[in-house]
Amino acid sequence: MATTTPIRESGLVDRGALEQKVKDMYRRVAKEPEGEFHFAMGRPLAEELGYPPADLDRIPRQALESFAGVGHFLGLAAIRPGETVLDLGSGSGTDTFLAALYTGPTGRVLGLDMTDEQREKAQRLARENGFHNISFHAGYIEEPPFDDASVDVVISNGVINLSAEKDRVFAGIARVLRPGGRLALSDIVTESPLPEKVKCDSTLWAACIGGAMQQDDYRGGITAAGLEMVAFQDNPQYRFLTDAAQAASRSYGVKSVNLLATKPE
Ligand SMILES: C[S@@+](CC[C@H](N)C(=O)[O-])C[C@H]1O[C@@H](n2cnc3c(N)ncnc32)[C@H](O)[C@@H]1O
Protein backbone atom coordinates (compact mmCIF):
# COMPACT_ATOMS: atom_id res chain seq x y z
CA MET A 1 0.00 0.00 0.00
CA ALA A 2 1.18 3.58 -0.65
CA THR A 3 2.49 5.59 2.30
CA THR A 4 -0.10 7.69 4.07
CA THR A 5 0.44 11.43 4.32
CA PRO A 6 -1.64 13.21 6.98
CA ILE A 7 -4.08 15.51 5.20
CA ARG A 8 -5.83 17.18 8.16
CA GLU A 9 -4.35 19.42 10.73
CA SER A 10 -6.47 21.03 13.46
CA GLY A 11 -9.60 19.60 11.82
CA LEU A 12 -8.97 21.30 8.47
CA VAL A 13 -8.20 19.49 5.24
CA ASP A 14 -4.86 20.45 3.70
CA ARG A 15 -6.15 21.06 0.16
CA GLY A 16 -2.71 21.04 -1.47
CA ALA A 17 -1.68 17.70 0.04
CA LEU A 18 -5.05 16.20 -0.84
CA GLU A 19 -4.93 17.36 -4.46
CA GLN A 20 -1.44 15.91 -4.85
CA LYS A 21 -2.48 12.58 -3.38
CA VAL A 22 -5.57 12.35 -5.59
CA LYS A 23 -3.58 13.30 -8.71
CA ASP A 24 -0.90 10.71 -7.89
CA MET A 25 -3.54 8.00 -7.57
CA TYR A 26 -5.38 8.85 -10.80
CA ARG A 27 -2.21 9.43 -12.79
CA ARG A 28 -1.47 5.75 -12.05
CA VAL A 29 -5.04 4.80 -12.99
CA ALA A 30 -4.48 6.42 -16.42
CA LYS A 31 -1.00 5.07 -17.04
CA GLU A 32 -0.85 1.73 -15.20
CA PRO A 33 -4.42 0.44 -15.01
CA GLU A 34 -3.12 -3.10 -14.48
CA GLY A 35 -1.59 -2.01 -11.11
CA GLU A 36 -2.95 -2.67 -7.61
CA PHE A 37 -5.63 -0.31 -6.24
CA HIS A 38 -8.12 -0.17 -3.34
CA PHE A 39 -10.92 -0.35 -5.88
CA ALA A 40 -11.89 -2.53 -8.84
CA MET A 41 -11.40 -1.14 -12.35
CA GLY A 42 -11.90 -1.72 -16.03
CA ARG A 43 -14.44 -3.59 -18.12
CA PRO A 44 -15.18 -6.35 -15.55
CA LEU A 45 -16.17 -3.62 -13.04
CA ALA A 46 -18.29 -1.79 -15.62
CA GLU A 47 -20.16 -4.98 -16.51
CA GLU A 48 -20.71 -5.82 -12.85
CA LEU A 49 -22.16 -2.35 -12.26
CA GLY A 50 -24.67 -2.88 -15.08
CA TYR A 51 -23.18 -1.12 -18.12
CA PRO A 52 -24.63 -2.72 -21.28
CA PRO A 53 -21.81 -4.78 -22.87
CA ALA A 54 -22.97 -3.81 -26.38
CA ASP A 55 -22.41 -0.11 -25.52
CA LEU A 56 -19.01 -0.86 -23.96
CA ASP A 57 -18.02 -2.52 -27.27
CA ARG A 58 -18.48 0.87 -28.97
CA ILE A 59 -16.04 2.95 -26.88
CA PRO A 60 -12.21 2.90 -26.89
CA ARG A 61 -10.83 -0.16 -25.09
CA GLN A 62 -8.04 1.82 -23.41
CA ALA A 63 -10.56 4.25 -21.88
CA LEU A 64 -12.42 1.32 -20.37
CA GLU A 65 -9.20 -0.19 -18.96
CA SER A 66 -8.88 2.89 -16.73
CA PHE A 67 -12.56 3.02 -15.77
CA ALA A 68 -12.72 3.71 -12.01
CA GLY A 69 -16.39 4.56 -11.54
CA VAL A 70 -18.63 3.35 -8.71
CA GLY A 71 -21.99 2.83 -10.41
CA HIS A 72 -24.01 2.89 -13.62
CA PHE A 73 -26.24 5.96 -13.64
CA LEU A 74 -26.61 6.50 -17.40
CA GLY A 75 -30.05 4.84 -17.37
CA LEU A 76 -31.19 7.51 -14.87
CA ALA A 77 -29.55 10.24 -16.96
CA ALA A 78 -31.59 9.22 -20.07
CA ILE A 79 -29.39 11.34 -22.35
CA ARG A 80 -31.17 12.35 -25.57
CA PRO A 81 -29.82 13.10 -29.06
CA GLY A 82 -28.68 16.71 -29.40
CA GLU A 83 -28.12 17.35 -25.67
CA THR A 84 -25.05 19.03 -24.13
CA VAL A 85 -23.54 16.91 -21.36
CA LEU A 86 -20.82 17.80 -18.84
CA ASP A 87 -18.87 14.94 -17.19
CA LEU A 88 -17.31 16.14 -13.90
CA GLY A 89 -14.09 14.23 -13.17
CA SER A 90 -14.15 12.51 -16.56
CA GLY A 91 -10.97 10.48 -15.95
CA SER A 92 -10.00 8.41 -18.98
CA GLY A 93 -13.45 9.00 -20.41
CA THR A 94 -15.65 5.88 -20.18
CA ASP A 95 -18.87 7.78 -19.34
CA THR A 96 -17.87 10.68 -21.59
CA PHE A 97 -17.57 8.37 -24.61
CA LEU A 98 -20.85 6.61 -23.77
CA ALA A 99 -22.62 9.96 -23.34
CA ALA A 100 -21.33 10.97 -26.79
CA LEU A 101 -22.91 7.86 -28.30
CA TYR A 102 -26.24 8.85 -26.74
CA THR A 103 -26.14 12.56 -27.72
CA GLY A 104 -25.11 11.62 -31.27
CA PRO A 105 -23.30 14.06 -33.56
CA THR A 106 -25.85 16.84 -32.98
CA GLY A 107 -25.03 16.95 -29.27
CA ARG A 108 -21.76 17.47 -27.47
CA VAL A 109 -19.99 16.24 -24.37
CA LEU A 110 -17.54 18.17 -22.20
CA GLY A 111 -15.16 16.29 -19.91
CA LEU A 112 -13.55 18.13 -16.98
CA ASP A 113 -10.63 16.73 -14.99
CA MET A 114 -7.69 18.13 -13.00
CA THR A 115 -5.29 15.22 -13.66
CA ASP A 116 -3.32 15.86 -16.87
CA GLU A 117 -2.56 12.20 -17.62
CA GLN A 118 -6.25 11.21 -17.43
CA ARG A 119 -7.38 14.10 -19.61
CA GLU A 120 -4.59 13.71 -22.17
CA LYS A 121 -5.28 10.00 -22.53
CA ALA A 122 -9.01 10.61 -23.02
CA GLN A 123 -8.38 13.43 -25.51
CA ARG A 124 -5.99 11.27 -27.54
CA LEU A 125 -8.50 8.40 -27.61
CA ALA A 126 -11.29 10.75 -28.73
CA ARG A 127 -9.11 12.01 -31.59
CA GLU A 128 -7.90 8.55 -32.65
CA ASN A 129 -11.40 7.05 -32.56
CA GLY A 130 -13.31 9.83 -34.32
CA PHE A 131 -15.35 11.14 -31.38
CA HIS A 132 -15.61 14.67 -32.79
CA ASN A 133 -18.35 15.82 -30.40
CA ILE A 134 -16.22 15.46 -27.24
CA SER A 135 -13.80 17.98 -25.73
CA PHE A 136 -11.78 17.53 -22.54
CA HIS A 137 -11.03 20.53 -20.32
CA ALA A 138 -8.51 21.12 -17.53
CA GLY A 139 -10.00 22.41 -14.32
CA TYR A 140 -11.64 21.79 -10.99
CA ILE A 141 -15.13 20.51 -10.33
CA GLU A 142 -15.42 23.18 -7.60
CA GLU A 143 -15.32 25.88 -10.31
CA PRO A 144 -16.45 24.37 -13.63
CA PRO A 145 -15.15 26.69 -16.39
CA PHE A 146 -18.43 26.81 -18.34
CA ASP A 147 -21.17 29.40 -18.84
CA ASP A 148 -24.26 29.68 -16.69
CA ALA A 149 -27.24 27.58 -17.90
CA SER A 150 -25.18 26.09 -20.76
CA VAL A 151 -25.57 22.35 -20.03
CA ASP A 152 -28.56 19.98 -20.32
CA VAL A 153 -27.14 17.14 -18.21
CA VAL A 154 -24.32 17.02 -15.66
CA ILE A 155 -22.95 13.53 -15.05
CA SER A 156 -20.22 12.32 -12.67
CA ASN A 157 -18.91 8.97 -11.50
CA GLY A 158 -17.00 8.44 -8.25
CA VAL A 159 -15.61 11.97 -8.08
CA ILE A 160 -17.49 14.37 -5.77
CA ASN A 161 -16.51 12.31 -2.71
CA LEU A 162 -12.91 13.34 -3.47
CA SER A 163 -13.68 17.05 -3.09
CA ALA A 164 -13.11 18.79 0.25
CA GLU A 165 -15.58 21.50 -0.87
CA LYS A 166 -18.69 19.63 -1.92
CA ASP A 167 -21.00 22.62 -1.44
CA ARG A 168 -18.99 24.52 -4.06
CA VAL A 169 -19.31 21.54 -6.42
CA PHE A 170 -23.09 21.42 -5.97
CA ALA A 171 -23.37 25.20 -6.46
CA GLY A 172 -21.30 24.98 -9.67
CA ILE A 173 -23.54 22.20 -11.00
CA ALA A 174 -26.69 24.24 -10.30
CA ARG A 175 -25.11 27.25 -12.04
CA VAL A 176 -24.12 25.51 -15.31
CA LEU A 177 -27.37 23.53 -15.68
CA ARG A 178 -30.12 25.12 -17.74
CA PRO A 179 -33.56 25.33 -16.07
CA GLY A 180 -35.09 21.87 -16.46
CA GLY A 181 -31.61 20.33 -16.75
CA ARG A 182 -30.60 17.13 -14.92
CA LEU A 183 -27.85 15.90 -12.65
CA ALA A 184 -27.22 12.14 -12.74
CA LEU A 185 -24.32 10.54 -10.94
CA SER A 186 -22.85 7.70 -8.95
CA ASP A 187 -20.81 8.46 -5.87
CA ILE A 188 -19.65 7.14 -2.51
CA VAL A 189 -21.50 8.25 0.64
CA THR A 190 -21.73 6.94 4.20
CA GLU A 191 -24.55 5.96 6.54
CA SER A 192 -22.71 7.31 9.63
CA PRO A 193 -20.31 10.25 9.65
CA LEU A 194 -16.68 9.12 9.33
CA PRO A 195 -14.35 9.60 12.31
CA GLU A 196 -11.28 11.83 12.02
CA LYS A 197 -8.92 8.84 11.81
CA VAL A 198 -10.52 7.73 8.54
CA LYS A 199 -10.79 11.27 7.14
CA CYS A 200 -7.11 11.86 7.99
CA ASP A 201 -5.93 8.87 5.96
CA SER A 202 -4.98 10.36 2.61
CA THR A 203 -4.77 6.96 0.93
CA LEU A 204 -8.33 6.13 2.00
CA TRP A 205 -9.41 9.61 0.86
CA ALA A 206 -7.90 9.14 -2.60
CA ALA A 207 -9.49 5.66 -2.73
CA CYS A 208 -12.96 7.31 -2.53
CA ILE A 209 -13.60 6.54 1.17
CA GLY A 210 -12.07 9.21 3.45
CA GLY A 211 -13.91 12.10 1.78
CA ALA A 212 -17.30 10.37 1.62
CA MET A 213 -20.11 12.50 3.05
CA GLN A 214 -22.97 11.26 5.21
CA GLN A 215 -25.82 10.51 2.79
CA ASP A 216 -28.44 12.90 4.29
CA ASP A 217 -25.87 15.73 4.23
CA TYR A 218 -25.03 14.86 0.61
CA ARG A 219 -28.70 15.00 -0.42
CA GLY A 220 -29.14 18.18 1.63
CA GLY A 221 -26.17 19.79 -0.14
CA ILE A 222 -27.76 19.15 -3.54
CA THR A 223 -31.16 20.50 -2.56
CA ALA A 224 -29.56 23.52 -0.81
CA ALA A 225 -27.93 24.33 -4.18
CA GLY A 226 -31.44 24.58 -5.67
CA LEU A 227 -31.93 21.16 -7.31
CA GLU A 228 -34.85 18.77 -6.68
CA MET A 229 -34.01 15.16 -5.84
CA VAL A 230 -35.88 12.71 -8.09
CA ALA A 231 -34.17 9.41 -7.24
CA PHE A 232 -31.54 8.28 -4.73
CA GLN A 233 -30.71 4.57 -4.82
CA ASP A 234 -28.20 2.26 -3.16
CA ASN A 235 -25.91 0.53 -5.57
CA PRO A 236 -25.07 -2.82 -3.92
CA GLN A 237 -23.01 -4.12 -6.86
CA TYR A 238 -20.10 -1.85 -5.92
CA ARG A 239 -17.59 -3.47 -3.50
CA PHE A 240 -14.35 -2.27 -1.96
CA LEU A 241 -11.30 -4.49 -2.37
CA THR A 242 -8.72 -4.02 0.38
CA ASP A 243 -9.09 -4.88 4.08
CA ALA A 244 -8.85 -1.21 5.14
CA ALA A 245 -11.49 -0.18 2.64
CA GLN A 246 -13.80 -3.07 3.54
CA ALA A 247 -13.41 -2.35 7.27
CA ALA A 248 -14.43 1.30 6.76
CA SER A 249 -17.31 0.18 4.61
CA ARG A 250 -18.59 -2.22 7.30
CA SER A 251 -18.10 0.17 10.23
CA TYR A 252 -19.58 3.34 8.75
CA GLY A 253 -21.82 2.09 5.95
CA VAL A 254 -19.58 3.46 3.19
CA LYS A 255 -21.44 2.64 -0.01
CA SER A 256 -22.13 3.59 -3.60
CA VAL A 257 -25.34 5.38 -4.59
CA ASN A 258 -26.89 6.55 -7.86
CA LEU A 259 -28.97 9.71 -7.98
CA LEU A 260 -31.01 11.88 -10.30
CA ALA A 261 -31.87 15.52 -9.53
CA THR A 262 -33.35 18.28 -11.66
CA LYS A 263 -33.04 22.05 -11.80
CA PRO A 264 -36.52 23.62 -11.57
CA GLU A 265 -37.79 25.37 -14.73
C1 LIG B 1 -12.43 7.83 -9.24
S2 LIG B 1 -11.81 8.67 -10.66
C3 LIG B 1 -13.22 8.51 -11.71
C4 LIG B 1 -12.93 8.84 -13.15
C5 LIG B 1 -14.08 8.59 -14.12
N6 LIG B 1 -15.26 9.33 -13.74
C7 LIG B 1 -14.39 7.11 -14.20
O8 LIG B 1 -15.52 6.73 -13.88
O9 LIG B 1 -13.49 6.36 -14.58
C10 LIG B 1 -11.83 10.36 -10.13
C11 LIG B 1 -11.40 11.38 -11.17
O12 LIG B 1 -11.77 12.68 -10.71
C13 LIG B 1 -10.71 13.59 -10.89
N14 LIG B 1 -10.84 14.60 -9.83
C15 LIG B 1 -10.84 14.40 -8.50
N16 LIG B 1 -11.04 15.54 -7.83
C17 LIG B 1 -11.18 16.52 -8.78
C18 LIG B 1 -11.42 17.91 -8.72
N19 LIG B 1 -11.55 18.53 -7.55
N20 LIG B 1 -11.51 18.60 -9.88
C21 LIG B 1 -11.35 17.96 -11.08
N22 LIG B 1 -11.13 16.64 -11.19
C23 LIG B 1 -11.05 15.91 -10.06
C24 LIG B 1 -9.45 12.74 -10.78
O25 LIG B 1 -8.38 13.34 -11.46
C26 LIG B 1 -9.90 11.44 -11.42
O27 LIG B 1 -9.64 11.40 -12.79
Task: Report the C-alpha gap between 93 and 235 in whole angstroms.
Answer: 21
Q: Would residue 111 count as lying in a domain? A: yes
CATH number for the domain that contains residue 71: 3.40.50.150
Distance 187 CA to ligand 1 centre (A): 11
H/E element, 168: helix 166-176
Q: Contact, 153 vs 83, CB < 8 A?
A: yes
Least confident range from 36-40, 53-57, 234-238: namely 36-40
In this structure, the residues whose C-beta lies within 6 A of any atom of ligand 1 are: 22, 26, 67-69, 89-91, 94-95, 113-115, 118, 140-142, 157-159, 162-163, 208
Atom index in ligand 1 nearest the CA of residue 67 equals 9
The pLDDT of residue 207: 77
In a domain, 202, yes or no: yes
pLDDT of the residue at 8: 53
* 3: in domain: no
Mean pLDDT of the chain: 92
pLDDT of residue 184: 98
Exposed e or buried b for every residue in 141-157, given b needs 16+ CB within 10 A? bbebebeeeebbbbbbb
- C-alpha span between 97 and 113 (Å, rounded): 15
What letter represents residue 76's amino acid?
A: L
Q: How far is ligand 1, taken at its centre, from the CA of residue 173, in Å?
A: 15
pTM to 2 decimal places: 0.95
Q: Name the pLDDT band for 1 (thresholds 50, 70, 90).
A: very low
Point out which residues pair with 137 in neighbouring strands.
Answer: 112
Instruction: Give the domain extent around 105.
Output: 8-262
Protein residue closest via CA to atom 16 of ligand 1 = 162
**Domain-located, residue 50:** yes
Best residue among 18, 23, 113 to mutate for probing ligand 1, ranked by most atoms within 8 Å of CB = 113
Residue 159 CA, ligand 1 centroid: distance in Å: 5
Please report which residue ranges of 32-85 form alpha helices under DSSP H. Answer: 42-49, 53-56, 61-65, 74-77
Distance in Å, CA 94 to ligand 1 centroid:
12
Handedness of CA 34, 39, 45, 48 (dihedral sign): positive
Q: Ligand 1 centre and the CA of 223: distance in Å?
A: 23
Q: Is 2 a domain residue?
A: no
Look at residues 118, 15, 114 and name the one whose alpha carbon lies nearest to residue 68: 118
Q: Is residue 1 a part of any domain in this protein?
A: no
- Asked whether the predicted pLDDT for residue 66 surpasses 60, the reply is yes
pLDDT of residue 12: 58
Q: Which amino acid is at 31?
A: K
The number of the ligand 1 atom at minimal distance from the alpha carbon of 113 is 22
Whether 85 and 79 have beta carbons less than 8 Å apart is answered as yes
For residue 1, give every residue at least 6 positions away whose Cβ sits within 8 Å of its Cβ, in sequence order, or none: 203, 242, 244
Residue 167 CA to ligand 1 center (angstroms) comes to 17
Number of domain units in the chain: 1
CA gap 235, 80 in Å, rounded: 24
Q: Is residue 108 part of a domain?
A: yes
pLDDT of residue 43: 97
Query: Average of pLDDT values for 151-170?
Result: 97
* DSSP code for 104: -
SS3 state of residue 7: coil
